[in-house]
Amino acid sequence: MAMTVREVSRPARSFMEQIFLWEVCVGLMVTFRHFFVNLARHALRALGLKVEPGAVTIQYPEDPAVLGKRARTRHRLLKRADGSPRCTSCLLCETICPAKCIHITPEESPDPRIEKRAKTFDIDIGLCIFCGYCVEACPVDAIHMDANKVELSSYTREDMIWTMPELMDDVPKLPRALRPAPGIGPTVPFVSGSH
């Protein structure tokens, strides 16, 4: 097959386009429209008239972030009345999780009324897509996404993994280097190849 070259003509720029001045004015018009509309709304509301509220700038991170009532934030593991985790380690959240960010290892419970409990329950927040399926899947209401924490960054990938005591707010989430005792960190390594 012979190679062919096709000439594509580019649309020529007009004079007005070349000086950009008109487009700068168009952009400024949008800015000023918002400015005056919000100014009017704030002024009218200050006078007691019921118009739509004007936009408010939040000085995040100096001021706290405002979250919607049903916002899905960091997971929280709930406890029974006696303080033990509600989780029965049925692995339904792990199964439904599309990001495979939940790793649970079950174990036998010493309590004769409880068949099965979680030995470890790790969530890799770095992998989580905050879809909330785990909350939907849980048959015992053990996991919620209502910790109302959105500042979840860390300097290492390991520190993105939250363990069971941390998810229950029993211990503060600290970077690995600052953790008080061994044995709190994730017990089973996350395998990056499996994702």
Partner 1 sequence: MSEKKMVSLTIDGKPVSVPEGTLVIEAARALGIKIPHYCYHRGLGNPGNCRICACEFEGAPKPIQMSCRTIAAEGMKVRTSSPNARRYQASSLEFHLENHPLDCPVCDQSGECKLQDYYMQYGLYGSEVREDKLHKGKRIPIGPHVMLDQERCILCTRCTRFTDNVTKTHELGIFGRGHQERVELAPGRSLDNAYSGNVVDICPVGALTDRDFRFRVRVWYLDETESICPGCARGCSIDVHTNTKRPWHNEGRRVARLKPRENPEVNGFWICDEGRYGYKNLDERRLGRVMRLKPRPEDLSWSSALDEVARGIKEASAAKGTEGLVVVASGMLSNEDWSSFKELFVKTLKIGRFLFGPEPDQIGAEDDFLRRKEKVPNLRGGLDLGFGKEIKSLSWDDLAKSIESGKTWGLYVVERDPAKVWGSERAKALLDKLDFMAFQSPFKGEAGEWARYRLPATAYVEEEGHFTNFEGKVQKYGKALEPLGSARPDWQIFDDLRARFLSEEGSSGRREKAGALA
Is there binding between residue 54 and partner 1 (CB under 8 A)?
Answer: no
Query: What is the distance between the alpha carbons of residues 117 and 84, in angstroms, rounded to a whole number?
Result: 10
Upper half-sphere CA count for residue 170 (Cβ side, 13 Å): 13
User: Nearest 5°: phi and psi at 70?
Assistant: -105, 25
Under the binding rule (CB under 8 A), the answer on residue 129 touching partner 1 is no
Run of H or E including 32:
helix 21-46
Q: Does 84 bind partner 1 (CB under 8 A)?
A: no
Name the β-bridge partners of 121.
Answer: 104
Min CB(124)–partner 1 separation in Å: 11
- Can you tell me which of 90, 125, 143, 145 binds partner 1, judged by CB under 8 A? 90
How far apart are CB 131 and partner 1 at their closest, in Å? 19
Distance from C-alpha of 73 to C-alpha of 151, rounded to nearest angstrom: 10
Rounded to an integer, what distance in angstroms lies between the CA atom of residue 135 and that of residue 121?
14
Closer to partner 1 by CB, 92 or 145: give it.
92
101 binds partner 1 (CB under 8 A): no
Q: Which residue, 91 or 168, is less far from partner 1 as judged by CB?
A: 91
Whether the CB-CB separation of 163 and 120 falls below 8 Å is answered with yes
Residue 91 touching partner 1 (CB under 8 A): yes
71 token code pair: 């916002």
For residue 142, give the nearest of 117, 159, 108, 163 by alpha carbon.
117
Per CB under 8 A, does 65 bind partner 1?
Answer: no
Stretch that binds partner 1, among 9-17, 152-160, 167-175, 187-195 (CB under 8 A): 187-195
Query: For partner 1, which residue of 116, 144, 149, 179 counts as binding (CB under 8 A)?
Result: 116
Task: Determine the Cα–Cα distance for residues 81 and 94; give it in Å rounded to an integer.
Answer: 25
How many residues bind to partner 1 according to rule CB under 8 A? Answer: 23
Q: Which of 11, 110, 139, 180 binds partner 1 (CB under 8 A)?
A: 139
Q: Name the residues that contact partner 1, by CB under 8 A.
A: 88-92, 94-95, 100, 103, 105-108, 112, 115-116, 139-140, 188-191, 194
